[in-house]
Amino acid sequence: MVEPVRDGRSISDEASSGIGRLRQAAIYRAGVYGRRPKIPTSWPGLEAKAQDVLSRRARAYVAGGAGLESTIHANTDGFERWRIVPRVLHDVGHRYLTIELFGRVLPAPLLLGPVGVLSLAHRDADVAAARAAAAERVPMVLSNQASRSMEECVAVMGDSPRWFQLYWSTVDELVESFLARAEACRCDAIVVTLDTTLLGWRPRDLDLGSLPFAHGLGIAQYTSDPVFTRLVEQRARGGQREGRQQRPTAAALRALLSIARTYPGRT
């Protein structure tokens, strides 16, 4: 088997040196010259930094949960029950984390799960995550509610592994179109999400009257799909015939302009 190489170093070389140890050494070397890390090194610090940067609506969507948000706390408590226990005086000269999955040898038992509306956090959104996944050779699950289309993401991934998350639509033709595109993008697997037949009751978003999808965010898989485009045109024509209209407001016009800038074209 040919071992993956990054920046002139094999993955096993990095493992034997310790990626964390290499990063730590770089920070301390910079500290000698009076330079401190721009990115916080602790998870709470990183989260606090993100909260300062994100808009109020973005913070609500990214950090918020449903109901009393007890599931968020339960998840955190669940992870806290797992511990990494050091074992000393063991030979670790030839350790490795690789696994085989779906016929691929992966460098670690990790993957990037699907995250919707990544444009709230970064201007390059899903494409930035795709680049990071490809750099580390870990699978990325392309989100059904992405800010950038699966084709745009795959264009920067080379042959790096990718899966596709599918929200099963009420229109089978649209599902078939998504699956055909995922196959053309050489996705190794389809991850079917079944728990979103109804939107969760998210108080932070509801109190702001903010649903990203209503503002044209996180719908790139749809606006880039020919079947969806045709369905929208059909529904728009039907609405015009039935005379369904509401008085426009400044907020509605701003939302329309935002959608038009994000997804120029017929849709």
Q: Which residue has the higher pLDDT, 254 or 61?
A: 61
pLDDT at 75 over 50: yes
pLDDT at 266 over 70: no
pLDDT at 101 over 60: yes
Q: Which residue has the higher pLDDT, 249 or 230?
A: 230
pTM of the model: 0.78
What are residue 215's DSSP bridge partners?
none
The 10s digit of each residue's pLDDT in 177-229 is 999 999 999 999 999 998 777 888 999 999 999 898 888 899 999 999 999 98
Name the percent of the chain lying above pLDDT 70.
85
Tell me the two tokens of residue 66. Answer: 């449903």
- What would the mean pLDDT of 41-53 be, rounded to a whole number? 89
Which 3-state string (H, E, C) describes 127-140? HHHHHHHHHHCCCE
The predicted pLDDT at position 241 comes to: 57
Q: How confident is the model at residue 265 (pLDDT cuts 50, 70, 90)?
A: low
**What is residue 89's DSSP assignment?**
S
Are 167 and 179 in contact, with CB atoms under 8 Å apart? Answer: no
Q: For the chain, how far is it from start to end, CA to CA, in angstroms?
A: 47
CA distance 160 to 225: 23
The predicted pLDDT at position 94 comes to: 81
Tell me the two tokens of residue 195. Answer: 């728990």
Name the percent of the chain lying above pLDDT 90.
50
Q: How confident is the model at residue 1 (pLDDT cuts 50, 70, 90)?
A: very low
pLDDT at 4 over 80: no
- What would the mean pLDDT of 74-95 be, rounded to a whole number? 88
Tell me the two tokens of residue 16. Answer: 């034997």
Q: Where are the domains of the chain?
A: 98-262
Does the domain at residues 98-262 carry the CATH identifier 3.20.20.70? yes
Sign of the dihedral through C-alpha 60, 61, 67, 68: negative
50 CB burial (10 A radius; 0-12, 13-18, 19+): middle
Mean pLDDT of the chain: 85
- Those residues whose C-beta lies under 8 Å from the C-beta of residue 229, and which sit 6 or more positions away, are 223, 266, 267
Other C-beta atoms closer than 10 Å to the C-beta of 154 total 23
Helix extents (H) in 102-171: 125-136, 150-154
Phi and psi at residue 130, to the nearest 5°? -65, -40
pLDDT at 2 over 50: no
